[in-house]
Chain A
């Protein structure tokens, strides 16, 4: 096959491209320029958008002996991922930008362009398995598993995707990179949000949305117990950084229960009040076979690297409902609910949807 390997400059995508070459594919490497003003050098371990990352990707492609190009996706990335990220926070939700980037950039804008240019598939270094049965499964490396942020992909997108790393642990990938002479073997993992270079999400949002002081309200008493400089800076389940003026009468810690943009209010309360047993989600995508016509038993995950709980899931029209077998804390609107079918050979993604409430 003629395949396009998306190469971030990290170790995973370099080894994924190497494996695609070894599998006999005709591989072309592409680095996505996502930052409008790329920083020259990395600060810390973050990012995939610096000149150094672009160079690392090019070096890996050179070692593999494959053609390499840089595609400018900065405008699309800003519109579909960064602006969406800001708008979601402004609306009181908690977005997952990696998931949005997979949905809109890597497996949409990039994949569509690749197909138009005559490529058959896109290869990435995601840690997930995609077998001949077409099911997306968790990586053998549970700590690195990225099936959650890929669960948003449609059947058509998965059919043109290749994830060569799902059967390997991160340690094995690094070892292989070293064996293949790829200089990125020891490059630190990227984490956090690539477009917030200093990791200060609250500062980034404040820069975009401005300061908007408002009240922090206790859910039980309705009393104002503190103030904030912008409700968007809070996430459901958050405990740190609330700076409450008045302690709770029972002296127990309080958590963010909800954010109400309309009144610019952050509501706090005790841990138990965070517990959710029923989840409603929108815009479902179902790739684990035919969409179910009635309730099914499966497992759900409600945030990246979050707990997995047994649940009954039902699909009706544009809504996915999940009744959880045991309550879960810290369920935030804007995150994805991903349904998995437990499987000893790797839990399989059935479908996903965006949590509404």
Chain B
């Protein structure tokens, strides 16, 4: 957590007061919450009334996708279709699947190209065919695995042509690339604290004022009657501090980290010439480098690099902890083997040149050993 965010958290947490109370302590807490709301709105191009504080990215995604779906269907029963992409985060993917399974929603899955990018023309075709039946479109701003940025403004414009609300999960994007809610034309946008130096478990859904969403959580109606629950004043204050710092420092941060990342990519390619670089080569998150290592298993590489103090990621694991082939790579046309051979390196605020050097020093041996281990799996 960012120092300023942590300090803001502890200072606020020491104060007593429920932001919904009418007494002096309550008013003090309410003021902190509203100031935070204004700070978040200001740096993300939204109005304060469009900021709904939540318990993080997963809640914001669920609220946007389910909430807008329910509200739109209630207003016009023919609208019972959701349009999404095959490369979404599970917070969106599983929410869409849930709507299909439990609410009878039809789903239009938009394809991606080999770099994981969506094509606005595919959305146009989908809406031309089913526009009157679509309740909500949801597509992420930036992919959490392969780092590709989506043409969000173009997608949102297509949705707007058909009068369909467009939600974007921008959890990966805020602080990494410029994000402006109003300018992007989206109706709803998910942001969360822990991805930008704020606390875990605090986030927001930016929700345009003219877009209705049915609540997931019922109770006091603290947040615009769309989200209930006693406000986490300290968490919200720290979140706002972190969002502001991340957005204001974005350009400088992105330039520094992208340079480091480009060095990493160049040197990984040199060390392991067969490596396949995944995702959009240019329009991508500055700190993301994603590779497939032919003939290796990602989880073997992870174990070997972890032992050398290098943390990387293979994507997701099932509840038992078994690594699963990434649905993102599969959607990009990779086969099972290539999906399983993939690894993501993420650079961030604390990353240094020495970190890249350490990776390059450890990588050749790790790849060599992982290949020998993978060869054992060949059919006997």
Q: How far is the CA of A71 from the CA of B372 in the complex (A)?
A: 16
Q: How far is the CA of A70 from the CA of B303 in the complex (A)?
A: 10
Q: How far is the CA of A58 from the CA of B320 in the complex (A)?
A: 10
Q: How far is the CB of A114 from chain B (nearest CB, A)?
A: 8
Number of chain B residues close to chain A: CB under 8 A: 19
Q: How far is the CA of A157 from the CA of B74 in the complex (A)?
A: 66
Known contacts A67-B307, A69-B303: A51-B369 contact under CB 8 Å? no
User: From A2, which residue of chain B is reached at the shortest CB distance?
Assistant: B307
A:260-310 near B, CB below 8 Å:
none
A:31-59 near B, CB below 8 Å:
31, 33, 38, 51, 54, 58
Q: How far is the CA of A118 from the CA of B370 in the complex (A)?
A: 9
User: From B302, which residue of chain A is reached at the shortest CB distance?
Assistant: A69
Q: How far is the CB of B319 from chain A (nearest CB, A)?
A: 6
A51-B376 in contact (CB<8A): no
Number of chain A residues close to chain B: CB under 8 A: 18
Known contacts A70-B317, A109-B376: A117-B303 contact under CB 8 Å? yes
Known contacts A67-B306, A109-B376, A112-B376: A72-B369 contact under CB 8 Å? no
B322-A33 in contact (CB<8A): yes
B372-A116 in contact (CB<8A): yes
Q: How far is the CA of A70 from the CA of B323 in the complex (A)?
A: 8
Q: Per DSSP, are chain A's interface residues mostly helix, strand or loop, or mixed?
A: mixed
- B296-309 vs A, Cβ < 8 Å mask (1 yes, 0 no): 00011011101100
Q: How far is the CA of A51 from the CA of B317 in the complex (A)?
A: 13
User: Does A28 make an interface contact (CB < 8 A)?
Assistant: yes
A116-B373 in contact (CB<8A): yes
B369-A54 in contact (CB<8A): no
B321-A113 in contact (CB<8A): no
- Chain B residue contacts of A33, Cβ below 8 A: 320-322
- A98-129 vs B, Cβ < 8 Å mask (1 yes, 0 no): 00000000000100110011100000000000
Known contacts A28-B303, A69-B299: A116-B369 contact under CB 8 Å? yes
Q: How far is the CB of A120 from chain B (nearest CB, A)?
A: 13
B322-A72 in contact (CB<8A): yes
Known contacts A67-B306, A109-B376: A118-B369 contact under CB 8 Å? yes
Known contacts A67-B307, A112-B376: A117-B323 contact under CB 8 Å? no
Q: How far is the CA of A117 from the CA of B369 in the complex (A)?
A: 5
- Chain B residue contacts of A71, Cβ below 8 A: 299, 322
Q: How far is the CB of A108 from chain B (nearest CB, A)?
A: 10
Q: How far is the CB of B370 from chain A (nearest CB, A)?
A: 7
- B359-380 vs A, Cβ < 8 Å mask (1 yes, 0 no): 0000000000110110110000
Q: How far is the CB of A52 from chain B (nearest CB, A)?
A: 10
A117-B304 in contact (CB<8A): yes
**Closest CB pairs A-B (n = 10):** A70-B321, A116-B373, A116-B372, A72-B322, A33-B322, A54-B320, A38-B320, A113-B373, A112-B376, A117-B373
A-B contact pairs, 15 of them (CB 8 A): A28-B307, A31-B321, A51-B320, A69-B303, A70-B317, A70-B320, A109-B376, A116-B369, A116-B372, A116-B373, A116-B375, A116-B376, A117-B304, A117-B373, A118-B369
